[in-house]
Amino acid sequence: MTAQHCEKCGYPLFEKDGRIICANCTEEEEEVESTQRGNALLEEKREELLTRLKETKDLNEIEHILRCLTLMKELV
């Protein structure tokens, strides 16, 4: 721990691997990045499902795709 404090949140700053970091803001940024990656992945899978939905005529597959889309909607 250093004697400095984060300008953004006021937490003490730490030195790690030669870098000065704020443990509070770093965790927050990692959570945001993780959420953004998860949302991007969900959107990619949603697009794949919509493409499959347009291409199929199989009612069982249509039902399965619609269930998947519904579950994905609940996640967001």
Q: What is the mean pLDDT of each run of 10 residues along the chain (76 residues)?
A: 84 82 70 70 94 97 96 84
The pTM of the full predicted model, rounded to 2 decimals, is: 0.57
Which amino acid is present at 19? R
- Continuous H helices in the chain: 23-55, 59-75
Containing structural domain, residue 60: 13-75
Q: How many domains does the chain have?
A: 1
- pLDDT for 28: 53
Residues in the chain: 76
Distance CA 32, CA 30 (A): 5
14 sits in the region (left: phi over 0; alpha: psi -120 to 50; else beta) called: beta
Token pair 């998947």: residue: 68
Report if residue 2 sits inside a domain. Answer: no
Report if residue 68 sits inside a domain. Answer: yes
- pLDDT for 15: 82
Report if residue 40 sits inside a domain. Answer: yes
Report if residue 63 sits inside a domain. Answer: yes
